[in-house]
Amino acid sequence: MATPTEHTFKILVTGPFAAGKTSLIQAISQSPVVTTEVATSGEEAIIKANTTVAMDFGTFALNPLDDSDELVHLLMFGTPGQERFRFMTDILKADVDVVTFVVDARAPASFQEARGMLALVMSDLRVPLVIAVNRCDDRDQARLVAEYLGAGADVPAIPCQLIDPESGREVVAEVLVALLQSTDLNHVDLVTQGGVK
C-alpha cells in the first residue's frame, strides 16, 4: 500500500479582540489546543474573562478519501486581538498559506478597527483570505460586513457561530476551497465528497 502524500498548510486566524478566534480553534482542533490565555483586566474584563497574549495553536487533519493518496494537515495559529500584542501577528504570519479573519457581527464598534487590522495583515501577503463573521446566521449580513472591512467580492464571507464545532467546520471547508484554488491540490476532491468530517 502506497504511503499517502502529505501536505501541511499554515492557517493564520486573526481579527479584533473578542471576535471568536480562540473559539474557532477550540471548536475544530483535533489535538489539544495550545493557548496562552490570561485573565483580562480593566474595561476588557467586562467583555471577556480571558484573552490570548501570544497565540493559540490547534490542528486539523483530513483523512484521504478511499481512492486518494493525499493527506492534508492544517496548522492553525490564532493571534491576540489586543493592540499591545499585535506584534505577534507579524511573527505568526510568516509563511502563512491562508488568512482566516474573524469578526463579531454583534460588535459593530469593532468594525473600523477590524478594517485597519485586515488591511495591515494583508498588505504584504499574497495568500487567500476567508472572512468568518461570528455570531451571524445571515449570508447577506456576512457579505455586508466583509465589504465594510474592505474585502473584495471574491473573498468568501462565512456566517458562523464559532462556539459550535459544526459551524467551525464550515469555515474550515471554505479554507480548504481557498487552498484548493491556490495550490497544486486542485486535483484532490476533499470538500465536495465529504472530506471534512
Instruction: Name the maximum alpha-carbon separation found in the chain.
Output: 58
User: Whose grid coordinates read 492544517?
Assistant: 74
Average the pLDDT over 65-75 and give the result: 73
- CA 102, CA 131: separation in Å to the nearest integer? 6
195 located within any domain: no
The verdict on residue 196 lying in a domain is: no
- Tell me if 138 is assigned to some domain: yes
User: Of all residues in the chain, what percent carry a pLDDT higher than 90?
Assistant: 56
Summarised one tens digit per residue, pLDDT across range 71-125 is: 888 999 999 876 777 788 888 899 999 999 999 999 999 999 999 999 999 999 9
Where in the sequence is the domain holding 75, given as residue range(s)?
5-185
Cα(178)–Cα(45) distance, rounded to whole angstroms? 36
138 DSSP 8-state letter: -
**Structure-derived torsion over alpha carbons of residues 90, 92, 93, 99, reported in degrees to the nearest 10:** -120
Q: What is the pLDDT of residue 187?
A: 46
For the whole model, what pTM was predicted?
0.83
Domain CATH code at residue 111: 3.40.50.300
The confidence band for 182, taking pLDDT boundaries of 50, 70 and 90, is confident
Q: Record the cell numbers describing residue 188, joined without a space.
A: 484532490
Establish if 71 belongs to a structural domain: yes
Per the prediction, the chain carries an average pLDDT of: 82
Q: How many domains does the chain have?
A: 1
Q: Residue 193: inside a domain, yes or no? A: no
CA gap 100, 77 in Å, rounded: 10
